[in-house]
Amino acid sequence: MSAAPAPRSATDSPEKPPEFIVTLRGLSKIYQQGDVNVTALNEVSLDIARGEFLVLMGPSGSGKSTLLHLIAGIDRPTRGELHVQGIDISRLNESQLADWRNQNVGFVFQSFNLVPVLTAAENVELPLLLTRLNRAERKKLVATALDLVGLADRMHHLPKQMSGGQEQRVAIARALVTDPQLVVADEPTGNLDAHSAHEVLGILQSLSRDHGKTVIMVTHDPKAAAFGSRQIHLEKGELTK
């Protein structure tokens, strides 16, 4: 895993045109708060290339988390087009969307969101329970994912027996275990000390650079943003650069 920021662009190669994994066109999200409509995202258009480590930045309330939730299929746009891996996910019903998330997206949260009564291995195994894999196959994948984040020796530990950095690495293993093409991370270092944050960002960077995963990360922290291959800024629901 990389221990230092190494920004790069997925569109560096001049020979090969980039393959877009995410395509947004005129995407808007409007929330109803009482009688008032609040526009969280306004006509956003964006392409994200396969293997890119995209960082979404912006002040609180700028719509970056909303954008992340829409791309990850845990919220629905009010209007606009949203294609992920060629599928218009805004047209999927709730059950189809749940299956799609399970197969295509890995999630990393600010508060880790591990199930406290399950061990590291059991937490990582959760998304695999929705697949057709048998127990032995699941066990093997769990071991591989935990090994990838350097926690093979913590397999049977409960979340409360681990540090914040270790918990977040378990969460990353859980995000990776189904081998999704897209990994989304919402402020993944927000609750970590500098050292742990560096480790976690290094893993996310490695996923993009070495394993070809598309990583989309929301952060406030410019140091964390420096690990990405591209940064985009949002303000009042619109892309500013």
Closest to another protein by CB, 20 or 107? 107
Q: Which two tokens stand for residue 39?
A: 């526009």
Closest to another protein by CB, 35 or 94? 94
| Rounded Cα–Cα distance for residues 9 and 230 (Å) | 6
Among 23, 103, 181, 231, binds another protein (CB under 8 A): 103
| Rounded Cα–Cα distance for residues 122 and 113 (Å) | 13
Q: At what angle do helices 135-148 and 164-176 cross, to 10 degrees?
A: 130
Q: Is 118 an interacting residue with respect to another protein (CB under 8 A)? A: yes
Q: Is 152 an interacting residue with respect to another protein (CB under 8 A)? A: no
Can you list the alpha helix ranges (DSSP code H) found in the chain? Answer: 64-72, 94-104, 120-125, 135-148, 164-176, 194-211, 222-225
Site for another protein in 51-90 (CB under 8 A): 69, 72, 74-75
Closest to another protein by CB, 102 or 189? 102
Among 20, 53, 107, 227, binds another protein (CB under 8 A): 107
Please identify, among the stretches 14-22, 111-119, 149-157, 232-240, the one whose residues bind another protein according to the rule CB under 8 A: 111-119
Please identify, among the stretches 104-112, 192-200, 214-222, 225-233, the one whose residues bind another protein according to the rule CB under 8 A: 104-112
Query: Please, are residues 184 and 108 in contact by the beta-carbon 8 Å criterion?
Result: yes
